Amino acid sequence: DIIRGKDLYIRTDQRKRKLRKNLQKIFERIYNKLKEDLRKEGKTKQMTEAEERYNHDAQFFKIREDWWDANRKEVWQAITCGIHGANYFHNTCTGKFKTENNCRCAISDVPTYFDYVPQYLR
C-alpha cells in the first residue's frame, strides 16, 4: 500500500508529505533509469511507449503500480523467507514447534489476494 500510495496508516500530514516526496524521488529515478536503459539498448519504440505511459504522471502512480505488479512476489519472499535464522515464525499454540518449513516459503505464493482492497476492509 505504501508503494502504491494507498497507505492509510500514516496519520500526520507532515509524515505523509515526507513519504510521498521520497517515493516520488525513488520512482522518478526508476523511470529515468528505465528510459536510459531503453535508449542504450536502442529500443526506441519501447522508450516512446514508456514516455507516453509515465511522462504525464507527476506522482508516478502508474510506474508505482507497474513496479508493484512486477515485484510483489519478490517483496513477500524477502519479508518472510529471506530472514534465515531470524525469529519470524513463533512457536505454535502448544508451544513445542515452530511452523514447519517456514509455512509460506514452501508455497511461494503471495498469501494475500487483497492488494486492491482498501486496508480498512481487509
Tell me the pLDDT tens digit for each residue of 44-80: 899 899 888 888 887 888 888 899 888 888 877 776 6
4 versus 105: which is more confidently predicted? 4
Contact in structure between 34 and 50 (CB atoms under 8 Å): yes
| 3-state DSSP assignment of residue 98 | strand
Q: Which domain holds residue 116?
A: 13-121
User: Cα separation of 92 and 89, whole Å?
Assistant: 9
Whether 1 is covered by a domain: the verdict is no
Say yes or no to pLDDT of 116 above 90: no
Q: Is the pTM of this model over 0.75?
A: no
Does 37 score more than 60 pLDDT? yes
45 located within any domain? yes
Any domain includes 93: yes
The answer to whether residue 76 is domain-embedded is yes
Q: What angle do CA 85, 86, 92 make, to 5 degrees?
A: 105
Indicate whether 104 belongs to any domain: yes
